Amino acid sequence: MEKDFQSAPKRFWQTIRRLRRGKRGSIQAVYSKGGTLLTSTEEVIGRWKEHFKELLNPTTPSMRDGGGLRRISA
């Protein structure tokens, strides 16, 4: 580590900061569709699964398919 201080001080201080902070716990919580806070791992994973399923398989018609567009007669 002393060699890093002399040859690469930036890397040395980055290492020192990382070691001083230690591992921080992260908060793993999301809201359900109904607005309830989900905190258990199973509930959070289930909600993310639901979110991405809806994102990748939309139930609303897309603009490419002509959904939502109406013909206007002149």
pLDDT tens-digit profile of 19-50?
Answer: 887 766 676 899 999 999 999 989 999 999 99
Cβ neighbours, 10 Å, residue 46: 14
Q: How far is CA 44 from CA 5, 7, 37, in A?
A: 43, 45, 9
Q: Is the pLDDT of residue 7 over 70?
A: yes
pTM given for the model: 0.47
Beta strands in 14-71 (DSSP E): 30-31, 37-38
